Chain A
Amino acid sequence: DTGVSQNPRHKITKRGQNVTFRCDPISEHNRLYWYRQTLGQGPEFLTYFQNEAQLEKSRLLSDRFSAERPKGSFSTLEIQRTEQGDSAMYLCAGQESSYNSPLHFGNGTRLTVT
């Protein structure tokens, strides 16, 4: 158990709807990452936070995606106007402040857009 929890585990939504996912890392995780993973592929970087500051966002990420980490603790990832191509596993990972430390992943939220 990594201590990182993600909710919900599964989400089924209709195209065009908005969805929001939540990630709760442990308190020692100053850094928090969001990734997207499709079947047979590696995790694709979306964005990451150092405490509450969003330090980088993938250029591949459309404006429909937004992430927040309001108090440097939990984080939310919102997808607006979902499309079928958004169907994927969304993974969150926490990391201690040193970049020479491992990522601790949650079990992910599986999104299905119908």
Chain B
Amino acid sequence: SQQGEEDPQALSIQEGENATMNCSYKTSINNLQWYRQNSGRGLVHLILIRSNEREKHSGRLRVTLDTSKKSSSLLITASRAADTASYFCATADYNNNDMRFGAGTRLTVKP
């Protein structure tokens, strides 16, 4: 069963703009992770934020986590056409540590 829900389901922007994707989840977690997937390929890990962290940066990526609202956001700044992909959040459940994914956001960056 899925754990998280990403919003929006699809996002289309121009190169150079910022892209924001949101993730909501249901249970208590140890951490939340964001992944990227290009069509027909496996998922690639982008960033991990622990439950006691509120914000984390990695290059052009910024992730926030609000455990009181059970939500996270992924911001990609200065987007590039190569950022076109599906983005998924995944949560490590607090009790059993298994990793559950949301349905993803399909990002299209137009050159």
The finding on whether chains A and B are genuine partners in a shared complex, rather than unrelated, reads yes
User: What residues make up the interface of A, taking CB atoms closer than 8 Å to B?
Assistant: 2, 4, 33, 35, 40-45, 48, 55-56, 58-60, 91, 93, 95, 99-108
23 A-B pairs whose Cβ atoms sit less than 8 Å apart in the complex: A2-B42, A2-B44, A4-B42, A35-B101, A40-B106, A41-B104, A42-B4, A42-B88, A42-B102, A44-B1, A45-B1, A48-B98, A55-B96, A55-B98, A56-B96, A91-B42, A99-B30, A99-B31, A100-B92, A103-B33, A103-B43, A103-B99, A107-B42
Query: What is the total number of residues of chain B having a CB less than 8 Å from a CB of chain A?
Result: 28
Q: Mark B71-90, 1 if CB is under 8 A from A, else 0.
A: 00000000000000000101
Asked if residues A45 and B99 are in contact (CB atoms below 8 Å), the reply is yes
In the assembled complex, the Cα of A108 lies from the Cα of B82 at a distance in Å of 22
Majority secondary structure, A binding face: loop
Residue of B nearest to A108 (CB): B42
CB distance from B46 to the nearest CB of A (A): 9
Most-contacted residue by chain A among B4, B33, B98 (CB, 10 A): B98
Which positions in B face A, CB cutoff 8 Å? Answer: 1-2, 4, 6, 30-31, 33, 35, 41-45, 48, 50, 88, 90, 92, 96-104, 106
Q: Is the CB of A100 within 8 A of B50?
A: yes
Residue of B nearest to A60 (CB): B1
Which residues on B sit within 8 Å (CB–CB) of A104? Answer: 45
* A residues near B31, Cβ cutoff 8 Å: 99-100
Q: Contacts A42-B104, A102-B33 known; A107 to B41 CB distance under 8 Å?
A: yes
Chain B residues with CB under 8 A of A95: 99
Using Cβ atoms and an 8 Å threshold, which residues of chain A touch B99? 33, 45, 48, 93, 95, 103
Contacts of B1 in A (CB 8 A): 44-45, 58-60
